[in-house]
Amino acid sequence: MFIAHLPAGYLGACLLTRRAAAERRHLLFVPFVVGSIFPDADMLYFYLIDQGRHLHHDYWTHLPVFWLAAWGVSLILALILRSRALALAATSFVGGVFLHLLLDTPFAGIRWLYPLSDQSFFLVTVPATRSWWVWSFVVHWTFLFEIVICIAALLLLLMRRRRA
């Protein structure tokens, strides 16, 4: 997924905070949205350091087991510090990350069972039809899902602005 992670994060954060108490909304909304795009920060490493030698979905940023461990550590830290705010924000952030991983799964693949298995789970293989791999994804029919998510997020944003 290329362009719809942020819109999907926005949709997810709106859903998550819809019934949340006003004082908790900021602890949930922003961490969820940031989490929904954070795994793709590995593109900096992919281009600047790794120089495209490995699929960026093979990095720790796209491994569910890493995020489960990070969430566990955050919750333990929140317990030690007796910070409900940290627990809420960390849970929301990891929720956003898992939304990202779910959306990456069908068309790019995620190693959901790592380290038990190295298999990458996906539904559709996007063939390399263009010289730059990004264009292969953009001209593939699966890109329509991204457009639908973007339109849904834009409509929700416009509706919320009208109500405010």
Minimum CB distance to Zn ion, residue 41 (Å): 9
Binding segment for Zn ion (CB under 5 A), chosen from 21-29, 34-42, 74-82, 125-133, is 34-42
40 forms part of the interface with Zn ion (CB under 5 A) = yes
Binding Zn ion (rule: CB under 5 A), the pick from 104, 109, 111, 143 is: 104
Minimum CB distance to Zn ion, residue 85 (Å): 27
Tell me whether residue 104 or residue 146 sits nearer to Zn ion (CB atom). Answer: 104
Which of 108, 110, 103, 109 has its CA nearest to residue 153? 103
39 forms part of the interface with Zn ion (CB under 5 A) = yes
Tell me if residue 46 falls in helix, strand or coil: helix
Please enumerate, as own/partner, the contacts of 87-90 that have beta carbons within 8 Å and a separation of 24 or more.
88/24, 88/27, 88/28, 89/27, 89/28, 89/31, 90/31
Footprint on this chain of Zn ion (rule: CB under 5 A): 39-40, 104
